[in-house]
Structure 1
Amino acid sequence: MIDWRRATPDDAGPLTDLERDANLVGLAHVFGELPFPYAGVLSRWALVLDDPEVVTEVVDGDHGLLAFAAYDAESLRHLAVHPDAWGTGLATAGVRRAVHHGVVRLWVLAANRRARGLYEHLGWRPTGVEQECPWVPHPTELEYALVGSRA
């Protein structure tokens, strides 16, 4: 049984830590040797956690957060799982929690093959819409929409 709980403002630092840990492993091929923008990501989490339109749920581990899913009424905004917990079903569970609450859209880095494979396995498809990621080196993000009911 996975215990998800609603994140609080005190989770901004742990959310940033988890995002950093996941990105340094899973997106090293995108961001290379660039330093993780810790202060910027921490500021973004403070805003997300203060936004009444966004639900952020987390899974606690023995040494920090294991997973998070942040979503609003229609978009999965943020999803990450600590690399030590990859393959455990936490990402799928996070996506399903968001879909259960009406989420039908998300953005994913074009070069994030691991995430794209998960989303496509769960019935999501690219819409053909692209945008530039706000983080240097500004890689391409793809919009995905849920077209099946497997998620």
Structure 2
Amino acid sequence: MADDDPDDQLMACEALAHSCPPSQVFCVGDGEELLDFLYNRGIYQNKETVMPDLILLDLNMPRKNGIEALKEIKSDPDLKHLPIVVLTTSKEEEDIYRTYDLGVNSFITKPITYEALLNTMKILGKYWFEVVQLPSERNDG
């Protein structure tokens, strides 16, 4: 999950823990840190990181926003297969169209209450981890 709001990170991680199959959730604070995580660079350079099965991406973040991170991920042949769900406070039509044009898999406006967020995470977890078939990590070389 890439989100600069620690409260949103905590609530989403708790909701995912209560609603999804057991999984490891990593939270980063902005698009730049997300890319560092995906490319194993910066503070993640010497750490054992795994490719995520799903990225939850906020749009409004410092340094590198969600649109910029989405554009970079979807233009990289090694990363473009990763499913990305925008989870943001934005309801702007322009943001919805732009993210879908860039290859986002879903766009969700963040629920306001914890109960609504829990319900959204339950549906999201069931769909992405129990219903759809995700590509396995490629090993082309």
TM range (shorter): 0.3 to 0.5
Greater strand fraction, Structure 1 or Structure 2: 1
TM-score normalised by the chain length of structure 1: 0.34
Please identify which structure carries the higher helix content: 2
Question: Which TM-score applies when normalising by structure 2?
Answer: 0.36
| Higher RCO (CA 8 Å, separation ≥ 6 residues) | 2
